[in-house]
Amino acid sequence: MTQLKIGEIFQYDTFIRKRRNFLILILALTAMALLSILLAVCLGTVKISPEESYQIILYKLFSLNIGDMINQVSPSHMDIIWEIRLPRVLMSAIIGSGLAMCGTVMQASVQNPLAEPSILGISAGAALGATFSILLGGSSKIFFGLGTPFWSFIGALGASFFVLLLSNIGGRMSTVKMVLSGAIASALFIALSNFIVYISNNAEGIRSVTFWTMGSLAAAKWENLTLPAVGISLSCLFFLFQSRILNTLLLGEEAAITLGIDLTKIRRIYLIITALITGLIVASCGSFGFVGLVIPHVVRGLVGSDHRRLLPGSILVGAIFLIWADVLTRVILKSGELPIGIITALIGAPFFIYILFKNSFEFGNK
């Protein structure tokens, strides 16, 4: 009995210590995210001091004028911070959180450590919608000129339903059928996009499509920030309450079914939600990869595979990662900026190679 009590006390102490360490980590990541936002708005072609940036943000948000400093601020600096950089930095944080969240959920849903939104053809479908809009005039001729973001969103949604249809042919949906269906959908939509580019006689449109498929946050404004922010926040909140089911999915299909989980229904719901979020993301800033692949593995190495810790950690690290990736796009070139997809690929590809050739993915083992 004494040994049993000692074991229980030890397990309880271990649980409390892990929980305390996780709370400290989350607080540290939250502080890093806020600090990253403040520092990121200072960097660019025009460098602005953190004190001046902080004063501008406080004045715009709360009408605070500490020490009458706002009267010493350059009007051009105020416009740069408030109208250009702050919405862009906030958009990068929101998009990074959404991509990391989608990657984490999809890796658990299809039980594949290399899963991300592009693996199921969602990004390719969104790119096809954007290509159709830009090169074939879908934004001006059909549906009252709703524009490229609308068609990109429709493409992502259509891709998700196409994958669901393919993976349900011939019996019950499985992870292998979903991944194979995603590969088919991705190849098909990329081929259709290339065909549209090939037959098009619009050089400026082709350049726009190329830039779109590489991703950019340059178009971020206050007016187009609300929809991604609301959509991604609600989906993050939803999946944070799905941690138990996501943990169960890691045990395998047979174990999940034994525990009473309707795998077909759950995967369909998760796929549709991640498709909607991916569509919002691609519609807002174009298509770029590796964020949903890399970030969950980085956080999994820090906190393990328990989604009660993995999801909030991935959301915060994804925001921090994309904030600084966007900063790099703005400061590497003295004239102009790089598409953010180039930066995420340059960082993500080596990590992809690392996890591809690693002996163990450590996926669901912790």
Give me 112's structure tokens: 């594949």
3-state SS of the chain is CHHHHHHHHHHHHHHHHHHHHHHHHHHHHHHHHHHHHHHHCCCCCCCCCHHHHHHHHHHHHHCCCHHHHHHHCCHHHHHHHHHHHHHHHHHHHHHHHHHHHHHHHHHHHCCCCCCCHHHHCHHHHHHHHHHHHHHHCHHHHCHHHCCHHHHHHHHHHHHHHHHHHHHCCCCCCCHHHHHHHHHHHHHHHHHHHHHHHHHCCCHHHHHHHHHHHHCCCCCCCHHHCHHHHHHHHHHHHHHHCCHHHHHHHCCCHHHHHHCCCCHHHHHHHHHHHHHHHHHHHHHHHCCCCCHHHHHHHHHHHHHCCCHHHHHHHHHHHHHHHHHHHHHHHHHCCCCCCCCHHHHHHHHHHHHHHHHHHCCCCCCCCC
**Worst-scoring range by mean pLDDT, 48-57, 81-90, 353-362?**
353-362
Tell me the CB-side half-sphere exposure of residue 211, using CA atoms within 13 A. Answer: 14
Tell me the per-residue pLDDT of 253-264, one tens digit each, with 9 for 90 and over: 777 777 778 877
Q: Is 250 exposed, middle or buried (0-12, 13-18, 19+ CB in 10 A)?
A: middle
Q: What pLDDT does residue 240 have?
A: 93
Domains (range + CATH), the chain: 2-357 (1.10.3470.10)
Going by pLDDT thresholds of 50, 70 and 90, the confidence category of residue 2 is low
Closest by CA to 82, choosing from 109, 51, 105, 61, is 61
Tell me the CB-side half-sphere exposure of residue 134, using CA atoms within 13 A. Answer: 25
Going by pLDDT thresholds of 50, 70 and 90, the confidence category of residue 140 is very low
Q: What pLDDT does residue 137 have?
A: 65
**Worst-scoring range by mean pLDDT, 22-36, 64-78, 241-255?**
64-78
Going by pLDDT thresholds of 50, 70 and 90, the confidence category of residue 1 is very low
Tell me the per-residue pLDDT of 333-360, one tens digit each, with 9 for 90 and over: 877 788 888 888 888 778 777 766 764 4
Give the percent of the chain with pLDDT over 90: 24
Tell me the per-residue pLDDT of 264-319, one tens digit each, with 9 for 90 and over: 788 888 888 888 888 888 878 887 878 888 899 889 888 888 899 999 999 999 99
Q: Which residues, in sequence order, are CB contacts of 261 under 8 Å at separation 6+? A: 245, 248, 249
Q: What pLDDT does residue 109 have?
A: 86
Q: What is the pTM of this model?
A: 0.86
- Report the mean per-residue pLDDT for the chain: 82
Q: What pLDDT does residue 191 have?
A: 93
